[in-house]
Amino acid sequence: MARHLITSAIPYINGIKHLGNLIGSQLPADLYARYLRQRGHEVLFLCATDEHGTPAELAAAKAGKPVADYCAEMHIVQADIARGFRLSFDHFGRSSSPQNHALTQHFAGRLADQDLIREVSEKQVYSNADGRFLPDRYIEGTCPNCGYDKARGDQCENCTKQLDPTDLIEPRSAISGSTDLEVRETKHLYLKQSGMRGQLNDWIDSKADWPILTTSIARKWLNDGDGLRDRGITRDLDWGIPVRKGTEDWPGMEGKVFYVWFDAPIEYIACAGEWAQANDLTDSDWQRWWRTDMGADDVRYTQFMGKDNVPFHTLSFPATILGSGEPWKLVDYIKSFNYLNYDGGQFSTSQGRGVFMDQALDILPADYWRWWLLSHAPESSDSEFTWENFQSATNKDLADVLGNFVSRVTKFCRSKFDETVPESGTFGPEETTLIETLTTRIRVYEAHMEAMEVRKSAAELRAIWVAGNEYLQTVAPWSTFKTDPHRAAAQIRLALNLIRVYAVLSAPFIPDAAAAMLAGMQTDDDSWPDDVPAALEALKPGHAFTVPEVLFAKITDEQLGEWQARFSGTRD
């Protein structure tokens, strides 16, 4: 048994996230965490809401609420939605927690002690119309690198180039749209990460197993002539973590807060402290996951995120950890994803385009969405959600393949042998062939899951479902029963046991359906099929079962048309 620390990129507090956000980090992280738990590993799966910065302030102002109250309310909303999608976080924390305040200030103090922070008097953009300094991400303009006309002042999300607001062509306030901007002088703290280029390069070089998407983005930023620049880690804002040097005041930094991209990754660590406190555990209980001097040497740490978050997690956050000079755990593997687009365009929280997580759950249960998103995960390239594809995949994979198998097997057995596993003779050549096929495919499925190859795992799981259907069609127990009831009983006994195996294998993808299959088989035996022949004998003759309700209803053309019209690209 190994120990696995898993984090997914923490979502901004400013509203409910869309399906692209879900598949970009949280959902594949949950898939991996569920699988590892099934295989007997010790897992700590952490996530949180990212609550600081201008996005929170503006969203609160729009809602007419104090920012602290708004964040508290939206944390509850996002936590409820996460539960709705069956995301199995061990803790869903908050970056505004006391733990993150203390730890962020601690890291800043350590970095200062290591001479990795410098004070800079600089000129920043001030919006006269808004009456405030504008944080980088709330200045928009045209990217000088690729020409994208909605680039932000910190990064172009189109080409991922790191920017400063003054780099933008025709800059404007993202708050009011005003171009009445001027440059004023202010003082800020900068992390001297440029001096850590060699250390970061050696660290990235050691990660030969990382996905190409992750390493290509990291190296692009690292090797770009101005990619690894010193980064400002403070802002002129009211809401955030006050700038302190550990527990001491920081002269000249009064009234300033830490930049959200400095404190948000630190929340991964602080979240473990929140988890410990919520479960009446000690500091050593969470530190054994995060400090190598407390036992974290044997922890495998995996992060999940969209490609736009890769630079901060491969450069700035590691620079913070390495620069502290303390024995904190560094990430071992970063699983990054491309974008999921929506029906010919992009999902966009700011523009309200696409299906959002709460809306999705209003339409259909979580398993429908989990299956489609994971089986179409944007791993090697961007992928696209279309309603036609969603309908087709749902109806074919979930209803026709898996659901139909469960329904046919249980209903046939009930009609011919009652609701118990029938007595029967030995298996024949067809059963031997199926067992060999399943053994091979389950081992391949395991390999894909362990490698975090999400789409390949889904494809292999579907192939395992198909193998059962093909067996059923070949042996046709409904026909065999007419001439050889004992042989038909053997066939249906294997098929009933296969339902239990399907439930176990499918649980990381579709946990509710898996639970329904196990409940129908009246068993809590969710042991992994390491020994496939033995697994297909787990439910003994005489074991009672019930016919489950329909696992998956087909999506009709009428529903499809209604949803296409309802979600035409904007959110009310």
Distances (CA, A) of 438 to 40, 304, 308, 424, 466: 21, 30, 39, 21, 10
One-letter identity of residue 82? A
Q: Please state the φ and ψ torsions of residue 380, each to the nearest 5 degrees.
A: -85, -20
**Interacting residues of 61 by C-beta distance below 8 A, sequence separation 6+:** 67
Neighbours of 297 (CB within 10 A): 11
97 in Cβ contact with 36 (< 8 Å):
no
Residue 194 DSSP class: G
Tell me the sheet residues that pair with 287: none
Those residues whose C-beta lies under 8 Å from the C-beta of residue 148, and which sit 6 or more positions away, are: 142, 156, 157, 158, 159
Q: Enter the tokens of residue 378.
A: 């944007």
Residue at token pair 């998407």: 213
Annotated binding site for Zn(2+): 143, 146, 156, 159
| Angular region, 27: left φ>0, alpha ψ -120 to 50, beta rest | alpha
Q: How far apart (Å, rounded) are the C-alpha atoms in residues 207 and 211? A: 9
Cα separation, 170 vs 141, in Å, equals 5
Contact assessment for residue 235 and residue 190, using Cβ atoms and an 8 Å cutoff: no
Going by the annotation, the residues of the binding site for ATP are 349
In the block, tokens 């127990």 appear at 477
What SS3 state is found at 48? strand
What stretch of H or E contains 93?
strand 91-94
Q: How many whole angstroms separate alpha carbon 314 and alpha carbon 316?
A: 7
Burial letters 538-565, b for 16+ CB under 10 A, else e: bbeeebebeebeebbbebeeeeeeebee
CB-based contact 133:124 (threshold 8 Å): yes
Rounded Cα distance, 196 and 192, in Å: 8
Q: Which residue numbers belong to the known binding site?
A: 143, 146, 156, 159, 349
* Three-state secondary structure of 483-501: HCHHHHHHHHHHHHHHHHH
The type of residue at 541 is P
CB-count exposure of residue 152 (10 Å: 0-12, 13-18, 19+)? buried
